[in-house]
A and B are shown apart, each in its own frame.
Chain A
Amino acid sequence: MAGINRSAAQLLATIVGNKKVGQYHQILISVGDLVSQCKPGNFVAISVGGPSSKMVLRRAFAISRTTTSPQFGGAIELIVAPHGSGSTWLCGLAEGEQIDITLPLGTAFGIPTTNVNALLVGGGYGSAPLFGLAEVLKERGCRVDMLLGASTGAKIYAPLEGKRSVNSLRIFTEDGSMGETGRITSPIAQLVSELQIDVVYSCGPMAMLKAISDILGSTDVVHQCAVEEAMACGIGICMTCVLPVKDETGKINNLRSCIDGPVMDGAAIEWDLVGKTLVL
């Protein structure tokens, strides 16, 4: 074994829950003991469309939460927006149906060893894995504040039970239909200094992650962001999901966001070079 995705496995897993929550589906998948290997930030790759599907590529979804119940054992939860044909197919599955999944994949959010002050920033359903992360941070004795944002209120994902694990939660919508009106990034600089934030954890659209990196650029606050790039395989063999990342020597390389991410150091990503041709 080479140590890439070292706890990953492929299995036929049973859907044990599929509930519509606002614009999203909360899908629960029974995965047995593998649940103990799934950390906040990890993702799952799912084969979609059934055996005669014309969709040949897996779909990657962040694991939002893990749970264990006497009824179905270990399970992972996904928050899925039925946007494209693959996610729509997945959202249409009934409890009891089986899907071919590979998990856990990719890097997880780094958890501090001391009780630091953490700010969690989630855009749209990018907030999903942040609630599981909040629970872990809270258990470590961290102060956890959360910001959620979206274009409109219906796109905010904020489960009631998730709110218990945060010290404060503020919601921003661009159209003002929920919470405060404005962009999620506007209060970050002030919050970071007022709350003496040590680490920002972020998940959401790339433009949001870049904006947060820009804001934190002049500070020594650590930025752990879960990136979003189109993936064909999710396991590191297709080389499609690359991002330009600077190493310790200052050299920039195209790294795969599936195995070197999705959680990456926001300060190491060369945001201005994303989507550009890199010359080594």
Chain B
Amino acid sequence: MSQLDFSTTLGNAWFPTPIFTASGCASSGKELAQFFDLRDMGAIVTKSIMTKPRAGRATPRMAETPSGMLNSIGLQGPGIDAFLANDLTWLVEQKARIIVSIAGETAEEFASLARRLRGVAGISALEVNISCPNVENRGMVFACHLESAQTVIEGVRRTIGGDLPIIAKLSPDVTDIVSIARGVIDAGADGLALINTVLGMVINPNTMRPHLGGRTGGLSGPAIRPIAVRAIYQVHEALPKVPILGMGGVSSGADAFELILAGASGVSVGTASFGNPTAIMKIQNELRQILTDKGFSSLREAVGFAHRPESSVR
């Protein structure tokens, strides 16, 4: 039997496998490198980086929920200068493929981060995180408003030029994700990352107050997988040519396969790595086996396969 072509593309960026880390779930790679070779996965998607160092939200920052967890980190990070000097340099030395995720408080901050990254060698794509729910001002969740989402993406596109693929990370906490998706593609994004965490809250029965320091948090893990599958399916149906990096509760090869069938060209693994440091390798191996067993000769054939007409058989 012929060899499976496991490679994928996001815009003009090529990756040998379709499994990635999810931004905010792998720091900048050093921690997971103890458990597997970062070159063995599609790419590392870094923690969303901002202009200045940021301490993040108060603790408690975490609450486990049935088949999931809430996090309330608030984009803690070293800032772009230290990121470029330390984290990115290290990742490039490792010969890992890299998708840098950026986050800003204003459209201008996104554009200025893009300016810092323009021309930096070793980056495959840019993820523009316009949907982090753990910010004080809900107005900062640009992906909840069509116009602000477009303004950010336009600014980044203008700054970065035409070469580096831009992936806009969207929130499922909207009435119509397809219209936001279409809007950011029109504004210059090459692909979409679907989905960010879902806004949630846990109240502690002992203190009888919200458990998290930031009160609300982002729900992740298998609990949100059906939301991810639905969002990817809807967007792929409307925009079949737009590459989607899918994520949301993937913890097995079968889960990743589900997102691919819905329309994802790549799959990011987040919370599963918290529960299992080698989850990415496990998921990747299982997915490769499933695609082979189902008779696909390439990953590309399986992308969006759930959308095929009723009359087609397999």
Contact = CB atoms under 8 A, between A and B. Distances in A.
A2 B54 contact: no
7 contacts: A2-B33, A58-B274, A235-B32, A237-B274, A239-B47, A254-B55, A280-B54
A227 B42 CA distance: 36
Contact of B55 (A47, A54, A231, A279): A279
Nearest to B64: A57
Interface in B43-65: 47, 52-62, 64
Interface stretch (A3-11, A130-138, A176-184): A3-11
Given A2-B31, A238-B274, A56 B55 contact: no
Task: Rank and list the top 4 A-B pairs by shortest CB-CB distance, nearest first.
Answer: A2-B30, A278-B55, A240-B62, A233-B274
Given A56-B275, A57-B274, A275-B58, A2 B34 contact: yes
A4 B221 CA distance: 25
Contacts of B277: 10, 102, 233, 235
B53 A238 contact: no
A211 interface: no
B31 A4 contact: yes
Interface residues of A, number: 40
Given A239-B27, A276-B58, A2 B274 contact: no
Given A56-B274, A275-B60, 16 more contacts: A1-B33, A2-B34, A4-B31, A10-B276, A56-B68, A56-B275, A57-B274, A58-B274, A235-B32, A237-B25, A237-B27, A238-B274, A239-B61, A239-B76, A240-B61, A242-B59
A275 B25 CA distance: 22
Interface of A: 1-6, 8, 10, 47, 54-58, 100, 102, 229-233, 235-243, 253-254, 259, 274-280
Contact of B76 (A100, A230, A242): A242
B112 interface: no
Contacts of A58: 274-276
Task: Say whether chain A's binding surface is mostly helix, strand, loop, or mixed.
Answer: loop
Contact of B273 (A6, A100, A233): A233
Contacts of B67: 54, 56
B14 interface: no
Contact of B274 (A54, A232, A242, A275): A232
B35 interface: yes
B278 interface: yes
B187 to A, nearest CB: 30
B66 interface: yes
B69 interface: yes
Interface string B76-112: 1000000000000010000000000000000000000
